[in-house]
Amino acid sequence: MNKMTVKDVKDWKGKRVLVRCDFNVPMKDGVITDENRILGALPTIEYLMNAGAKVVLCSHMGKPHSIFSEEVKLNKKDKAKVEALPAEEQAAAKQAIIEKAKKDDLKKLTLAPVAKRLNELLGGKVTFATDVVGPDAQAKVAACKEGECVLLENLRFHWEEEKKDLEFCKKLASFCDIYVNDAFGTAHRSHASTAAIVEYGLVKTAVCGFLIEKELTVMADSLEHPVRPFVAILGGAKVADKLNVISNLLEKCDTLIIGGGMAYTFLKAQGGTVGTSLVDDEKLGYCKDMIEKAKALGKELLLPVDTVVTKEFPDPIDAPVEIETVCSMHIPDDRMGLDIGEKTRALFAEKIKGAKTVIWNGPMGVFENPVLAAGTVAVAQALADAKGATTIVGGGDSAAACTQLGFADKITHISTGGGASLELFEGKVLPGIACLNEKE
């Protein structure tokens, strides 16, 4: 990694520092249910505070598009309510629903609970600005003393954040002398706070925090200089989501394991019958090409040999289901595959056991359902048991699964960014990384 880090800046004392964090944490009824992203940001924040910087933190939370969108779409239930009214009352009723949605978003997606938790973790040295670039933010940033920090309100309460608006970037830049990006989870986004503030030349010194430094060091280095055998595991629902990832990883790894919903398109491409399983028929040709590419490169491409099937997808997702296990190439016409079978679990685990570098992105099945989680559990267990290997979980659902299943402390590195990890696996340059200063 050749990007400057916070340790490459020699003097922080008295400097105003804008730190882009990823505080997009799961919430329920205003309570944070998983604070891993907050804890992950602490080393950088504490380092800057201890060095005497005036720290301004910023982050997004969720997708509050209703707040600034004039084209808010009603859900089916609300649409039915509106259409049941007399024509002359429908416009007002629709507007009332939209206004309520905006208020709900402001309430649900505020960063106030994050500020409260940060204040507890950082000894009462955090204040919360109730806006992003407005008068409250300006006043609190101006009042911020050395060794203290301010958390700005949700960046996405402004449409200008995602549109890279120049004037919005100027206002953010006015809060800092130095910019620090420590939000790997949004590093693949080219937004105002993740890249444009630097790209527009508004901040001259731009470096990464400890979290991004670790992500790049572990993941990028493992991809470019893996200790072999190198096994890559891809799961998840759609082939289309991982087209370039599959192609890029085939060129780097020794074995590519494919599970999850995307496996059924590969199985069908090989002539298998997959019942009502999820299939992307438009990508059958691509799957055939990847199978041939693996052969041409002398790489091993492993697909499920047996599959756990049900008659229908569980609704709700954790509802009880009746399952059976069948050959992956011969799934009955009225069944759908929702997890890998016992033989496949053993096959994949054995391959992982012999690896020295393993990366994994995407669950093996509908892991949210306890009956259909066995394949994902088996892969997580295999990574946890892989002695002497560098094991990397590329964020998203597979990271959530490892955490929920209690394997997090047995994995070398669990990424904080699902989308960013995928683009790194794909070989792309991430905007939030590219904009940072190079080391001399």
Interval 346-392: pLDDT, tens: 999 999 999 999 999 999 999 989 999 999 999 999 999 998 999 99
Same fold? 6-64+109-214, 226-426: yes
Q: Which of 52, 147, 419, 427 is catalytic?
A: 419
Kindly indicate whether the domain formed by 226-426 is annotated with CATH number 3.40.50.1260. yes
Domain assignments of the chain as residue spans, ordered by start: 6-64+109-214, 67-107, 226-426
Nearest to 236 by CA among 398, 421, 348: 398
79 among known catalytic residues: no
Reply yes or no on whether the pLDDT at 237 is more than 60.
yes
pTM value > 0.85: no
Q: Which of 28-37, 48-57, 144-153 has the lowest mean pLDDT?
A: 28-37
Residue 79 confidence class, pLDDT cut points 50, 70, 90? confident
388 among known catalytic residues: no
Nearest to 432 by CA among 85, 262, 189: 189
Residue 11 confidence class, pLDDT cut points 50, 70, 90? very high
Terminal CA-CA length for the chain: 12
pLDDT value for 246: 92
Reply yes or no on whether the pLDDT at 417 is more than 90.
no
pLDDT value for 325: 98
Strand order in the sheet with 149-151: 126-128, 149-151, 54-58, 16-20, 178-181, 205-208
Q: Which of 3, 15, 20, 37 is catalytic?
A: 37
Cα 282 to Cα 265, 277, 367, distances in angstroms: 9, 15, 26
Q: What whole-number distance in Å separates Cα of residue 259 and Cα of residue 257?
A: 7
CATH of domain 6-64+109-214: 3.40.50.1260
Cβ atoms of residues 234 and 257 within 8 Å = yes
Q: Which of 235, 272, 365, 396 is catalytic?
A: 396
427 among known catalytic residues: no
Q: Is 277 exposed, middle or buried (0-12, 13-18, 19+ CB in 10 A)?
A: buried
Taking all residues of the chain, what is their mean pLDDT, rounded to a whole number?
91
236 among known catalytic residues: no
Select the more confidently predicted residue: 400 or 392.
392
pLDDT tens profile 262-295: 999 999 999 999 999 999 999 999 999 999 999 9
CA 297, 298, 302: angle at the middle one, nearest 5? Answer: 105
Q: Which of 238, 343, 356, 410 is catalytic?
A: 238
